[in-house]
Structure 1
Amino acid sequence: MPYHIPAESIIRKTVKERIINSHLIPSRNDLKGDAKLVFSQLATLGIANLADLRKALHTKSKLEDYAASSEISPDRITLLRREIESRFPKAVALKGFNRLILALEKLQIKDTEKLFQRFEKGSELLHKIIGKDAQIEKTLKTISNLCRGQWTNATAARMLILAGIDSTRALADSDDEIPYF
C-alpha cells in the first residue's frame, strides 16, 4: 500500500465530486461554486485523473499557462491546486513523537512516510529496535498510517487514536458531524 492515495486511479469526476461534497476550509469554499465549469475545462485539456491534474498545476508557470488558456482566474486555479495538494500531505517528522526517535533516525527513518514504508516492507532491524513491545509497534504503525490523512500531524494522530480511529480507512469512514464527547 502506498503512503499517499494512488492519484492515477482517481478520475476527474471523482475529484470534482469530492470537492463539491467535502467540508472545505473557508478560504476554499468558493471552489464548490464553479467546480463544474473548472472540471469541464479540465476535460478539454485532456486531464483524466488526479495525477494529470497535479502535473498540470505543479509549477507556477504551468498554473499561469492553464489560467491563460481558460476562463478561470489564476487565483481560483491556485485555490484548486492548494486543495488538490492538501490531499497529499507531507510526511510528518518523527521528532513530533517522543519515543524511540534516536534509534529510528539511525535507520534513516526520519518521518512517518519512511516509517510507514518500513512497516509495509517488514524489517527485522526495525523489530529489533522496537523490541517485543507489541503496543509500541501498534502505536507507531497506527500513527504512521493516520499521518497519511489530510491535515493529520503527530498530535492529531494521537487524538484520533484516543477517539477510537486507528486507520486512514476508519478516518475516511468516520462522521465528522458526530461529536466524540
Structure 2
Amino acid sequence: MSLRIREMTLADCDRVARIRVGGWRSAYRGLIPQSYLDGLSVEADAERRRTHLAQSDGSVVNLVAEDAGGGLVGWACHGPYRDGEVRTGEAELYALYVHPDQVGRGVGRALLTESVARCSTAGHGRLLLWVLKENDRARRFYERAGFRADGAEEPFEVDGVAVPEVRYARSLPG
C-alpha cells in the first residue's frame, strides 16, 4: 500500500474523527463499556480535534496517513510526556488509530515509524505510551516495534468502570 504521512490540517478533522471513533468502537469492543462506545460522537470528536489544532502551541504533532487516492486511513498524535504538570523531556504517543478496514496493512506501522523518527529528531530520549492492559493486539503491535511494558499501570475510568492501562516505553536513538 502506498502511503503518504503528513501533518494534519483543520480540513482533516472530520475524517480523523471518523477514524478515531471507528477505531475505538472496533479495538475496544469488549474491553470498555459498550454504553460508552455507543455514545461516541463523530461530530463532537471532530470539534475537539478542531479546537486542539487551533489552540496548539506546536508541541503536539498530529499526523495523518493518506492512501494513494488521497483518502485518510490513519491518525497519530504525539508530544511531550504528560506526567501531571511535570515535563520530563520524554515524548508520549497520545494516540494511534487506523481505519478499521485498513488494520494490518502497514498504516499503523508507517504512522508509528514517523512519530518515532520525529521524536528522536526532536531530541527525546524515550517515547512512552499507554495501552489498555487487555488490548493484546495493540500490545503485540507495540512490542514488535521495540516497545516494552515498563511496569507502570493506571486505571482509565470509562462510564464508572476502571479499565487498567499499562505504560510502554522505547528508547530513541539520538
Higher helix share: 1
Greater relative contact order structure (CA < 8 Å, 6+ sep): 2
**TM-score computed with the length of structure 1 as normaliser:** 0.28
Higher strand share: 2
**TM-score computed with the length of structure 2 as normaliser:** 0.28
Which has the larger Rg?
Answer: 1
